[in-house]
Amino acid sequence: ESSLQIWGKWSAKPLQPVHRFVAWPRLRIAQHTGRMPEGYASAGTTLLTEESFKSLENGGNRHDANYQDCISFQEWNDQTITEINRLPMHVPLYSLSDEGEAMKRRIEEEPEDHENWIKITPQNPEEGRKWKFYWTGTPEEAPEIAGPEGFLGASDFGEIRVPSCWEREEYGQAIYTNFQYPFKVNPPIIPSGMNHVGSYQVTVTVPTAWASRRVFLLFEGVSSAFYCWIAGKFVGYSQDSRLPAEFDITEHVRDQLGENLELSVRVLRFCDGSYLEDQDMWWLSGIHRDVILYSKPEELYIANYNVATTYLSPASDGPERQAELEVSVKLGGSHSDWPEDAEVVATLKGPHRLLPGQASAVPPEDTPTVLKEEPLTVYETSECFDARLQTVVPKALAWSAEEPWLYTLVLSLRRGGRCSDCEVSRVGLRTARTKDGQFLVNDVPVEIRGVNRHEHDDDTGKFCKLDSMVQDIKLIKQLNMNAVRLSHYPNRNLWYPLADAYGLYICDEANIETHGMFLETNEDRLTSDPTWEKAYLERMARMVERDFNYACIVFWSLGNEASYGRNHDIMASWTRARDPSRPVQYESCGGASATDIICPMYPSPANLAKLTTLEGQTRRNLEIGRKWPVGSADGVRPTIMCEYAHAMGNSTGNMDEYWDLIRSERTLQGGFIWDWVDQGLKHRDANGVEYWAHGGDFGEEIHDAQFNINGLVFPDRSFHPGCYEVKKIYQPITVSAQWLETCLPRFPVQLSFLNRFDFTTGSELEWTWVLELEGRVVDRSPEPMPLPTIQPQGGVATEHVVLDLGTDSQYGEAFCTISVRLKEDTTWAEKGHEVAWEQFQLPFPVFRPPAQPSSRRSLQGTGMLRTNHNSSTVEVRLSEAAGAGFRLVVCKQRGVIKKLECFGTTLLSEPPGSDGQSRGSKNLPTFWRAHTDNDNGGLDTLAGCGALGQRWHKDSGWPEGAYRVHGLLGFMLWWYAYWGDTSYGSMWLRSGLDKMEPEDVSVVTLGGSSQQVKVEIKMKLRAPGHKEYISCSTTIQVLATKDVIIRNKCYIPPSIPSVARVGLELAVAGGLENLCYFGDGPHECYTDRKLGARVGRHETTVDETFVKYLYPSENGTRSGTRWVSLTNDEGKGILVSPASPEDTLFFSAHHFTSRDLHVAKHPHEVPRRDEITLNLDLHHMPCGGDDSWARSHSH
């Protein structure tokens, strides 16, 4: 009872009585010994008040069913009232009454109804019953409760799917803002005029069999706040859109069992809690998770329980490995004394795991029994009773993301030897902690190859179905990721058992973000305000209480972009005291004591390197939106980026720079890519065309356009091309080659396999090799070979192979590709799924084979070239007999190829524009591309979506017509716009790179013969109204062999900024749809995003190269191209290769122009032209990926 310490904070006086303060045996409050956890120093005197703890323990404000008369219905404007009658949080409960049924419970699937548990929301909202629904624009217009029949006029309500978001059901308007609140910032006040209300009603029947049981009503997720009634009686109020709210309705229904009762729910779109929910996502409203009725025995029942691994012996113990497990059970009920006939027993079976083809990890019949009906010791507490068990698990198999071994725990409350209440949970034996500057799982430092994931469905919005969650997990693992940060809120209950079973490390994050505060007021205003303490602490504590038992959760997060202050310190202190078994992280405090892990957001590789030192980790930061003090730690902490590699549109470049650094520094342990899925919503335009909508598409006055379209996958979960880069860099097996003594055509090689797995040896993998010459297979391994057993964490094994090129080794490039694949089916991928690969070029001279054009090809043709001049063109024609209609025409006025024909087929032409004149940039050198999101930068994206002109509507709380952009943000946008260097995109436009036209054109013929003719073109490329110009000189060499060699030289003056490309844009005739090339592929790739591409011969079509990023941009480019051909179905067409065999080029081929892409807002708005735009670039700018709001392209 002496002074108590919660890590980082000190109490000024004892908190009495301790059992009122410490609700759980696992909540260890250490007596002050003068020693703090490693890496921490005293950090001030802020306290967790006893009132805060009491509120959390008791479930807050408790009132009876008649309390409605005292409700102000303005609770949603008061940050000190976060609930009324809501029960304390607990782990998910199933309320079973049979131990055998509990052991077979399919936890990883949608819960099924049983005698004590009823889901009010149907499992399939498309087919199940709908709820009655009425939408109003303000709280004042919402219908009142009329009595037992529920809402006044409910019989005339419409219908709605539940779970869902009402904006996806054609009520109200979806809004997307990045960090701007969609209403005036005046916490805690929400403008009533835009606070839409949804009034839900459904008929429920409480079974008569529940007569002697307590009845609970559970809402798993409602956005953002709600009041509820049953049979006209007030039940309660709750807010926090991403955590369950539960109410005891026993007294409301006791006299009406078996009758039809009306459950009425009034949901508000916004509340004071919305100031804590300013995440970068759609603002969507409604009952978006399940609603459940369940019952428990009235006298005594299992109210909550925790399971924790307190010790795990080293893996080197092998079969003798042991784990210490601690089980704590909290019992509720009306009993004041422990009944003599009652006992709590535990049964533990395992190890077992989810098996391929199964949907649930139910333990098989032959699973070993570790504990059988083991009694727990019962202790009396102030509220009811607790029960505890500490046990040793022999021959323990630990849980990890690589080997998700599980045990199944069944807890039974027995009365007179008969089970009266029963709960079940999967248990993973796992430890997680930080030590010596590293983050350890099971005392092993792990790589966090992670991604951030929002809950998102392109149809239902925030409601994610089971199959969608399983699909996400499988795809995430197939891309070699092992971790997910739940950005930025706790997920649906079902997500966590799935992550346990499939194997993912989870960062569980509190539903707190106040990013928009910095635009209007002090950014730390809320976290420094004691009146918001309860709201902050509840969101953290309730998440920890619900999710405590999941092995997949390896660290907690205090939230995201919510500044830093006293309330965060309180959250961190409470969490460390409640759960010392996991680290706590928080980005927005920098290196302050609130975080155990340094978790920066979008550092450049250079800045990431600075975080390997104590000085770099504890520095003060004064950046707007991220202000934190000097840190007080006395030791280096692990660094795991909470967000990096901003995957917005055509992005995810230069990831290799990060991972080269991460793998060279022991304290750098990875990060979470931003983010998983494009948040596009299905929508239809005025013509009925369905597309994926982004901000602004629903008519919002205030929006941030496409800034929520930054996923690795499209809304339907198909891959962006960047996924292949991520998969390659994250791959857990790497291969290197050492060439031994070579004797053409045989190449002996030693292959070294490096194991980057943290726990497994690669025994589940096999490998093959294939040898290709100029993209043609000449040799391969006869069959898959088992991967050698390799020690994890950097072990190496070698294999020897002899590659035989055969008799074709005189010409061309040869590549050997090693492929490492799954030997058998797994839970997340089928047999043969490729886990890793490497490609090596054979070390011998490279020559192009005679079948492909090159400068080494004979210049001798069979026909004769003739040249014709007139005032407007130069025409080079091959004699008809041999040339089969070969003709090239150069326009003297514009200095471009006007037409190229051969074999009666038009290959190149300068197509007319809509006015009948030639269309601008065709067949000219080009230096511009359709802007990617990274080219534009964030502020340019805001400007491009009209943010500078956006005005507030009258109901927002701002004066009607007031400009959205004002104050600090307005000044920043004006400043950057004035200087024009916000981004590469803005600089290109200011320089006119997108509108350059030829001037001072000179076209002359340089000598020539019957076998070759040279045409020299000189010009200036200048945009109208600009002084700067680019000097270009082009030589077109026409050969009697029907080859055309084009050489371009250009001079770009220093006054023109870095250009997007240096190349030539050609107009290829329509009909040449078949595309074949030898180079990097088969997908889109760029200078800084081509590690995931293989050199080979790839075939596709022009239409298939269009990557339909939700906001159109430069796309479809291929790098490292040796040659590319475009042909029609008869095989006629053109083939292009670099003039020098040592060179490669970039190319793209599309049925639209760069201008078409640049002006479109959605892929379906990009016109499909008859001609093909073929871009051939010597240089092409990287796509970048550090972030999407700065000039961060790395090369």
Q: Catalytic site residues?
A: 561, 643
The strand pairing partners of 389, in sequence order, are 327
- Please name the residues in contact with 604: beta carbons below 8 A apart, sequence gap of 6 or more: 1186, 1192
Rounded CA separation 126/162 (Å): 9
Beta bridge pairs of residue 83: 238
Relative to beta strand 626-628, strand 621-623 is: antiparallel
CA atoms of 992 and 995, how far apart (whole Å): 5
The distance in angstroms from the start CA to the end CA of the chain is 62
Q: Rounded to an integer, what distance in angstroms lies between the CA atom of residue 973 and that of residue 1028?
A: 26
Beta-carbon contacts of residue 311 (< 8 Å; ≥ 6 apart): 322, 323, 324, 431
Q: Which among 367, 377, 323 has a CA at the least distance from the CA of 346?
A: 377
Helix (H, G, I), strand (E, B) or coil at 1067: strand
Q: Where do the DSSP E strands lie in 1006-1122? A: 1012-1022, 1030-1039, 1044-1051, 1061-1068, 1074-1081, 1094-1101, 1118-1121
Tokens of 737: 């080659």
The neighbour count for residue 301, using CB atoms within 10 Å, is 22
Structure tokens at 723: 């996924």
Question: Residue 683 is inside which H or E element, if any?
Answer: strand 681-684
Contact 382, 136 (CB under 8 A): no
Q: Where are the beta strands (DSSP E) in 470-520?
A: 483-486, 505-509
797 CB neighbour count, 10 Å cutoff: 16
In degrees rounded to 5, what are phi and psi of residue 959? -60, 140
Structure tokens at 926: 């080009």
How would you classify residue 923: left for phi > 0, otherwise alpha for psi between -120 and 50, otherwise beta? Answer: left
Closest CA to 21 of 42, 33, 5: 5
Among candidate residues 910, 914, 907, the one with its CA nearest the CA of residue 922: 910
Query: What DSSP character marks residue 106?
Result: -
Complete edge-to-edge strand list for the sheet that includes strand 131-136: 83-84, 233-239, 225-230, 260-268, 197-205, 131-136, 158-160
- CA-wise closest residue to 163 among 123, 202, 199, 110: 123
How far is Cα 433 from Cα 442, in angstroms, rounded to an integer?
A: 8
CA neighbours within 13 Å on the CB side: how many for 546?
28
**What is the distance between the alpha carbons of residues 49 and 570, in angstroms, rounded to a whole number?**
9
DSSP string spanning 763-779? TTEEEEEEEEETTEEEE
Torsions phi, psi of 1192, nearest 5?
A: -110, 15
Q: Enumerate the β-bridge partners of residue 896.
A: 891
> Which residue has 């069992």 as its token pair?
257
Q: Which residue has the tokens 């192009």?
A: 848
Q: b/e for 475-486, b at 16 or more Cβ within 10 A?
A: bbbbbbbbbbbb
Could you give the angle at which helices 495-502 and 466-478 cross, rounded to 10 degrees?
Answer: 30
Residues in the chain: 1195
**Residue in the structure block whose two tokens are 């003060």:** 620
What is the C-alpha separation between 324 and 711, in angstroms, rounded? 41
